Chains A and B, each alone.
Chain A
Amino acid sequence: MAGLIIDNVQKSFGQTHILKGIDLEIPDGEFVILVGPSGCGKSTLLNCIAGLEEVTSGRILMGDTDMTHAAPKDRDIAMVFQSYALYPNMNVRKNIAFGLEIRKMPKAEIDEIVNNVAKLLQIENLLDRKPSQLSGGQRQRVAMGRSLARQPEVFLFDEPLSNLDAKLRVEMRTEIKKLHQRLGTTIVYVTHDQIEAMTLADRIAVMKAGHVQQFGTPQQVYDDPANMFVAGFMGSPSMNFLRVEVGQNGDDYHVLIASEGHTYQLPCPKAQGDLSGYVGKDVILGIRPEQLTHVMPHVEEGEFVTKVPVKIEVTEPTGADTLVLTRINDEECECRVHPAEAGQPGEMMDILFNMDKAVFFDIETEDRI
């Protein structure tokens, strides 16, 4: 097994620069998730790691070996594609065995591996079927089986669950997590699904337009985003961004918000950023919907909690919580309240603004303060 080092990798197709210098250092056995908007270069990066695309510049190392210019077959990497990419003319057994046959493994050994993999993924009864006779979830298992059989150093997954229905996706997610815990192989995994990213990852790399914006644990990325893009991209429903003015009371800083003609001061914890350079200026306040709740006595006593009456514009019940849409500083703002506490659209409601985890961004650079 081996770790993976991606050192300033750039990739252009003709004049279009897709990857603009990617640096990732992935220790052996880590589960890394790549997220980012469509077209930001996630698949391109996976293809570069696999050797299916030649990098324009930069280096790719596996363990201590420089693999930048190695052929795909010499990299000992297996990849699971979004479309599964099963060989349509071969049955499941042949699909799994193909890579081993190409590597000239003895027949008996191949049979043993195929049977083990089939047992692991519970596809033993499907071995003689063609891919066209399988359901989406079964194909997905076969595609994983094909990569598992080779026992590669590194697994790459390109949106492997995106074609499955919601229930199957949750099941397969758990399977993949178990598999990783059992095998301990390095995995790089692309997904658009927030929950998949948060639950599976040891670390998440958030990409945008060919750059890695942040590379950290799910909790770091969620609570401590590097910039407005990461903050807005991670989390669903997404973080509220409000343009606010910074004020100062002695040593303490606060930001000002207006709701229904009244102005409120929200005290800011020092740990969440040094606002000293911004007194009297505007910043962007980032606050997640779950920090804006109905009135709960034990929360209300907190040092950085303020009660603000707001006007309800829209309510969106999600079952466990109800999302209440309101206007703060003339911008939309979502709050997450208990369904029983949510009022009707047009009514007023008291909302607790908990600033413990609030984050601040510079208006110009959109970076964290």
Chain B
Amino acid sequence: MTKSNRSKGIDYWLPKLVLSPTIAITTVFIYGFIFLTAALSVTDEPLMTIFSLTNPNIDFTFDFVGLDHYVKLFENDRWNGALLNLGIFGVLFIGICMIVGLIFAILLDQNIRAEGALRTIYLYPMALSFIVTGTVWKWILNPTVGIEKFMQDIGFTSFTFDWIVDPQMAIYTVVIAGIWQSSGFVMAIFLAGLRGIDTSIIKAAQLDGASLFSVYTRIIIPSMRPVFFSAFVMLAHIAIKSFDLIMALTGGGPGNATDVPAIFMYQFSFTRSQYDMGATSAMIMLMGVAAILIPYLYSELRGEKQ
């Protein structure tokens, strides 16, 4: 009895013991700092002194300012520009990724030859970091070395493609690079969804007289709703957090033309030392991601329970 109790005790404690450092680190460095950021966004500067460990006169006094920083943030033109850019980028990036991914998935689903090779080719960009994608596309889109120069060199002297240096168009180059990187991944998700559909359903629909087009539009795609939802959530949080791609591709420029909330947050916190604005913008981004992820997790977990 005692022996089995003790061994049960080890079985019981060992996983907890092994996991506890991770839990402690996560608690402090993720949830702790989320809390600090939240605190920072509703208080005035002095709280910052606790971050400067070299400062001997640690001052724990702070003033609670409520939503002042939030009001200030939404009066800031640069922030509003960043939000608009995120809107343009998010809608186009998510929408086009889904359409391109779905089309490729449907084409690959037609039992074509060399499917494995094509799937790898489409999926490969996902293996690159956004930094690499951004840098490569910066070269490709650079008018003096990339596509424009290439087209002019082979004889189309009037060809221009200078979106990356055009403040009006620069955000669309971010969209292009983002789609190139992520649509293969979306395709893989959709392909898995399509493969999960019983082939006899398609046969039954054919016997019912449906064309291939209506088989897809009326049966297959509607029954893939959960897959669309997953793809949307993954793309949406990539879009909201997008930082590295834009840093590598345009650095937020020209000017502030491709500013997004993540870049705004980074620059205000770490180059301008306006921690209050940085923290406030970070909180807005967190809320945005949460607004998308929480319903998703909720529906996923509920699905598991059933």
Contacts and interface: CB of A to CB of B under 8 A. Distances in A.
Interface in B173-223: 198, 200-201, 203-210, 214, 218-219, 222-223
Contact of B222 (A73, A83, A89, A99): A89
A355 interface: no
B207 A50 contact: yes
B201 A73 contact: no
Contacts of A77: 207
A150 interface: yes
A83 B200 contact: yes
Interface in A77-122: 77-79, 81-83, 85-90, 98-99, 102-103
A47 interface: yes
Interface in B239-289: none
Contacts of A103: 209
Nearest to A158: B200
Given A85-B198, A89-B219, A89-B223, A150 B208 contact: yes
B206 A73 contact: yes
A87 B200 contact: no
Contacts of B200: 81-83, 85
The 10 closest A-B pairs by CB, nearest first: A99-B208, A73-B209, A85-B200, A89-B223, A89-B222, A85-B204, A81-B200, A102-B209, A88-B223, A85-B201
B159 to A, nearest CB: 47
A136 interface: no
A103 B209 CA distance: 7
Contact of B203 (A47, A90, A98): A47
* Among A47, A50, A98, A103, residue most surrounded by chain B Cβ atoms (within 10 Å): A98
B210 A102 contact: yes
A89 B216 CA distance: 12
Contacts of B208: 73, 98-99, 102, 146, 150
Given A81-B200, A83-B200, A98 B205 contact: yes
Contacts of A73: 206-210
B223 A87 contact: yes
Contacts of B205: 87, 98
A288 B207 CA distance: 42
A72 interface: yes
Contacts of A79: 203-204, 207
A279 interface: no
Interface residues of B, number: 17
A88 B226 CA distance: 13
Given A52-B207, A79-B204, A99-B209, A87 B198 contact: no
B244 to A, nearest CB: 38
Interface of B: 198, 200-201, 203-210, 214, 218-219, 222-223, 225
Interface string A49-67: 0101000000000000000
B222 A72 contact: no
Contacts of A102: 208-210, 214
Sorting the interface of chain A by its residue count into under 10, 10 to 19, 20 to 34 or 35 or more gives 20 to 34
A70 to B, nearest CB: 12
B206 A87 contact: no
A8 to B, nearest CB: 24
A102 B210 CA distance: 6
A86 B198 CA distance: 10
A72 B207 contact: yes
Nearest to B206: A72
Nearest to B219: A87
Nearest to B198: A83
A79 B201 CA distance: 11
Contacts of B207: 50, 52, 72-73, 77-79, 99
> Chain A CB within 10 Å — which of B200, B210, B222, B223 has the most?
B200
Given A50-B207, A87-B205, 4 more contacts: A52-B206, A77-B207, A88-B201, A102-B209
B206 A81 contact: no
A87 B203 CA distance: 11
Nearest to B201: A85
B209 A81 contact: no
28 contacts: A52-B203, A52-B206, A52-B207, A72-B203, A72-B206, A72-B207, A73-B206, A73-B207, A78-B207, A79-B203, A83-B200, A85-B203, A86-B201, A87-B205, A89-B219, A89-B222, A89-B225, A90-B219, A98-B208, A98-B218, A99-B207, A99-B208, A102-B208, A102-B210, A103-B209, A146-B204, A146-B208, A150-B208
Nearest to B220: A89
Contacts of B218: 98
Nearest to B214: A102
A62 to B, nearest CB: 14
Interface in A228-283: none
B181 to A, nearest CB: 31
B197 to A, nearest CB: 8
Contacts of B225: 89
B212 to A, nearest CB: 11
A98 B222 CA distance: 14
A102 B200 CA distance: 18
Contacts of A98: 205, 208, 210, 218
A75 to B, nearest CB: 8
Nearest to A87: B219
B219 A81 contact: no
Contacts of B222: 89
Contacts of A72: 203, 206-207
A94 to B, nearest CB: 10
Nearest to A88: B223
A125 to B, nearest CB: 23
Contacts of B204: 79, 81, 85-87, 146
Contacts of B209: 73, 99, 102-103
A103 B208 CA distance: 8
B217 to A, nearest CB: 11
A85 B218 CA distance: 15
B163 to A, nearest CB: 40
Interface in A140-157: 146, 150
Contacts of A81: 200, 203-204
